[in-house]
Copies of this chain bind each other. A is one copy, B any other.
Amino acid sequence: MKHESFHESAEMYLKTASELAGENTPTPIAALAGRLGVSAVSATEMVHRLQEQGLLAHQPYRGISLTAAGQQLADEVVRRHRLWECFLYERLGLPWHEVHDHACRLEHATTPAVTEALDAFLGHPAACPHGNPIDGQAGEPAERLLSELPVGGTAVLVRVHPESEGLLCYLAELDLLPGRRITLREIAPYQGPMVLQTDVGVRYIGREAAAHVHIRLLTEEPA
């Protein structure tokens, strides 16, 4: 229903492809389509167009993967996005869970000159307010997911990825922000919620949400 320009649309496809590439490669087109809220047919069309431009490679019935050029473009979009998040959160004082959506709109309207000037203005920040690195998605080496934290283990919340307004809002309500120290007390049976002990109280979180929360493990066992 909403029509985006090629520029914008292409950037969204590449950004999303880059996000999903971390999980499984090559990424099935259906996953792309789902994330973008678009039919599989539309996604296939766009993938072909992007392939013709040498931005991604499509192996039929396998999925897609970004070419070097496509990855670079995606990285640039992500960088702009995160720089805007920093600005909106740190300087404008907008809520932690809202800056993602605002940045999603600004990222496509940002020229290189503005990007560089913004980066300098912010003092070349290393990460966005949700903990994601601004240059490359190298990430910490020993990073794990909260959903894989063993019972009794203690960890520090490093980053939330991939982000979405709803998820961030949920985490903000639970005070689960980057830097928060977390110990997993137990996991309720039948895929129930995880019971977390944090420095600001006990919190319950579903497995699915926890799969978006990246942590650095401190100890596997209770002290």
Do the beta carbons of B91 and A113 come within 8 Å of each other?
no
- Assuming the contacts A3-B5, A3-B6, A6-B3, asked whether A88 and B108 have C-beta atoms less than 8 A apart, the reply is no
Do the beta carbons of A88 and B110 come within 8 Å of each other?
no
Do the beta carbons of A94 and B114 come within 8 Å of each other?
yes
In the bound complex, residues from chain B placing their C-beta under 8 Å from that of A94 are 113-114, 117
Do the beta carbons of A102 and B92 come within 8 Å of each other?
no
From residue A169, how far is it (CB to closest CB) to chain B in Å? 14
Q: Which of A51-108 contact B (CB under 8 A)?
A: 88, 91-94, 98, 101-102, 105-106, 108
Q: Give the distance in Å from the alpha carbon of A6 to the alpha carbon of B8 in the complex.
A: 13
Instruction: Verify if A118 is at the interface (C-beta below 8 Å from B).
Output: yes
Count identical subunits in the complex. 2
Do the beta carbons of B6 and A5 come within 8 Å of each other?
no
Instruction: Verify if A121 is at the interface (C-beta below 8 Å from B).
Output: yes
Contact of A121 among B3, B91, B120 (CB under 8 A): B91
From residue A91, how far is it (CB to closest CB) to chain B in Å? 6
Instruction: Verify if A23 is at the interface (C-beta below 8 Å from B).
Output: no
Do the beta carbons of B113 and A102 come within 8 Å of each other?
yes
Do the beta carbons of A88 and B117 come within 8 Å of each other?
yes
Q: How many residues of A contact B (CB 8 A)?
A: 26
From residue A140, how far is it (CB to closest CB) to chain B in Å? 31
Q: Give the distance in Å from the alpha carbon of A202 to the alpha carbon of B114 in the complex.
A: 34
Q: Give the distance in Å from the alpha carbon of A90 to the alpha carbon of B93 in the complex.
A: 19
In the bound complex, residues from chain B placing their C-beta under 8 Å from that of A101 are 111
- Assuming the contacts A5-B2, A92-B121, asked whether A109 and B106 have C-beta atoms less than 8 A apart, the reply is yes
Instruction: Verify if A45 is at the interface (C-beta below 8 Å from B).
Output: no
In the bound complex, residues from chain B placing their C-beta under 8 Å from that of A113 are 94, 98, 102
Do the beta carbons of B114 and A102 come within 8 Å of each other?
yes
From residue A83, how far is it (CB to closest CB) to chain B in Å? 11
Do the beta carbons of B105 and A111 come within 8 Å of each other?
yes
From residue A42, how far is it (CB to closest CB) to chain B in Å? 16
Contact with B along A161-195 (1 / 0, CB 8 A): 00000000000000000000000000000000000
Query: Which residues from chain A sit less than 8 Å from chain B, CB to CB?
Result: 2-6, 8, 88, 91-94, 98, 101-102, 105-106, 108-111, 113-114, 117-118, 120-121
